[in-house]
C-alpha cells in the first residue's frame, strides 16, 4: 500500500509552528528543515552583512533589508525560500508586508553553514536567479570568500583583498570583502 504525502501551500505552511525554532523552507510543497542552528560565526557574518546593507539602503530609502524572510518562488506545488539576508527594492514592496513576498528578492545572501550541501545550495541559488533575483551572494565562512552570481553571467569568487559591489541592484554599494569578515577572528579557535 502506498501513501501520498499531502503537499502544503504557502498559506498552510505559514500557519505551522517552526519545529524547535529551526528555520524551515517549503520546497515543492514539502517542508525542508535545516539540520542545525547557525553557528556564532554564521550569525556574526549574517549580522555584519545585514548591517552593511542597512547602512547603505536606509538613508537612501532604496528598500528593505531583512534576515530570513520568506519568498514564494513557485506555485502548484508551492516553494517558499528564506535567504539568510536579503534586499528588496522599495518599488516592489506592498504597502503592508504579508507573511511572504511573492517573487524572489532583488538580492539574496546565503551564508554557508555546516549542513549545506553543494547540490542543494546550487539549486537554491539557481532558483533565486530563475525567479527574479538579479544578484546572489554566497558567503563561505571557512574559505572567507564571497561568490557573486548574476543572471546569465559567470559567477565571480571574491577573496579578502577584493571589493564587493552592489552592481545594478544597489548602484554605489562598494565594500571590501575583508570588512564582511572583519570581526570573524573572534570565532576562531
Contact partners, residue 126, CB within 8 Å, separation at least 6:
none
- Omega prior to 77 cis, within 30 of 0: yes
Domain ranges of the chain: 10-187
Using pLDDT thresholds of 50, 70 and 90, give the confidence band for residue 1: low
Contact partners, residue 51, CB within 8 Å, separation at least 6:
none
pLDDT digits 0-9 by tens, 99-144: 899 999 999 999 988 766 788 889 999 999 999 999 999 999 889 9
- What DSSP element (H or E) covers 29? none
Place of cell 552593511: 52
Residue 22 has pLDDT above 60, yes or no: no
DSSP bridge pairs for 101: 71
Residue 98 has pLDDT above 50, yes or no: yes
Q: Identify the architecture of domain 10-187 in CATH.
A: Alpha-Beta Complex (3.90)
pLDDT digits 0-9 by tens, 41-96: 788 899 999 999 999 999 999 999 998 789 999 999 989 999 999 999 999 999 99
Using pLDDT thresholds of 50, 70 and 90, give the confidence band for residue 39: confident
Using pLDDT thresholds of 50, 70 and 90, give the confidence band for residue 4: low
Do residues 33 and 22 touch, judged by C-beta distance below 8 A? Answer: yes
- What DSSP element (H or E) covers 125? helix 118-130
Distance of alpha carbon 53 from alpha carbon 43, whole angstroms = 15
Amino acid at each position: 500500500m502506498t501513501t501520498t504525502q499531502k503537499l502544503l501551500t504557502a498559506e498552510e505552511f505559514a500557519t505551522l509552528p517552526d519545529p524547535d525554532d529551526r528555520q524551515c523552507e517549503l520546497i515543492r510543497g514539502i517542508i525542508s528543515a535545516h539540520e542545525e542552528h547557525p553557528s556564532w560565526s554564521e550569525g556574526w557574518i549574517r549580522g555584519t552583512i545585514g548591517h552593511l546593507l542597512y547602512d547603505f539602503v536606509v538613508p537612501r530609502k532604496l528598500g528593505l533589508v531583512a534576515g530570513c524572510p520568506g519568498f514564494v518562488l513557485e506555485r502548484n506545488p508551492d516553494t517558499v525560500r528564506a535567504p539568510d539576508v536579503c534586499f528588496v527594492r522599495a518599488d516592489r514592496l506592498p504597502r503592508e508586508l504579508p507573511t511572504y513576498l511573492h517573487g524572489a528578492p532583488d538580492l539574496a545572501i546565503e551564508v554557508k553553514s555546516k549542513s549545506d550541501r553543494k547540490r542543494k545550495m546550487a539549486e537554491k541559488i539557481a532558483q533565486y536567479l530563475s525567479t527574479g533575483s538579479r544578484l546572489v551572494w554566497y558567503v563561505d565562512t571557512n574559505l572567507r570568500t564571497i561568490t557573486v552570481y548574476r543572471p546569465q553571467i559567470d559567477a565571480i569568487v571574491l577573496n579578502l583583498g577584493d571589493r564587493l559591489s552592489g552592481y545594478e541592484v544597489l548602484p554605489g554599494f562598494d565594500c571590501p570583502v575583508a570588512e564582511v569578515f572583519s570581526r570573524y577572528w573572534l570565532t576562531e579557535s
